[in-house]
Amino acid sequence: MQTSCPECRTTFRVSQEQLGLRRGLVRCGSCNAVFNAYDTLLPELENPPASVTEEAEAPAQESLPFAPAAFEPAETPPADLQAAYREAGIDLAAGMVAYAEAAEAVEAERPEAWPQAVTEPEPEPLRSLDESPDAILLSELPTRQVRARLPWWQTVLYLFGTLLLLLVLLGQAAYFLRAELAAAVPEARPLLEGACDALGCDVPLPRQLTRQAIVSSSLEHDPEQKSRVSLTFLLANRTGQTQAWPHVILTLSDVREAPVAQKAFAPDMYLPRTVSPRAGFPARSEQEARVELDVGNLEAASYVLAVAYP
For residue 219, pLDDT beyond 50: yes
For residue 133, pLDDT beyond 50: no
Residues 6+ away with beta carbon under 8 Å from 222: 228, 229, 230
Whole-angstrom Cα distance, residue 22 to residue 141?
A: 9
Q: Which of 196, 211, 179 is nearest to 280 (CA)?
A: 179
For the stretch 250-277, pLDDT in tens is: 999 988 889 999 999 999 999 999 999 9
Q: How many C-beta atoms surround the C-beta of residue 35 within 10 A?
A: 18
| pLDDT attached to residue 70 | 40
Instruction: Name residue 243's beta-bridge partners.
Output: 281
| pLDDT attached to residue 299 | 81
Q: Average pLDDT of 139-158?
A: 72
Q: Average pLDDT of 47-65?
A: 46
Q: Which of 289, 271, 285, 272 is nearest to 232 (CA)?
A: 289
Please tell me whether the overall predicted TM-score, pTM, comes out greater than 0.85 for this model: no
Whole-angstrom Cα distance, residue 100 to residue 44?
A: 49
Question: How many residues can be counted in the chain?
Answer: 310
Q: Which of 263, 27, 3, 288 is nearest to 134 (CA)?
A: 27
For residue 139, pLDDT beyond 90: no
For the stretch 23-37, pLDDT in tens is: 778 888 788 888 888
Per mean pLDDT, which range of 59-68, 73-82, 164-173, 291-300 is the poorest? 59-68
Per mean pLDDT, which range of 133-142, 189-198, 222-231, 246-255 is the poorest? 133-142
DSSP tag of 61 = H
More confident residue, 106 or 226: 226
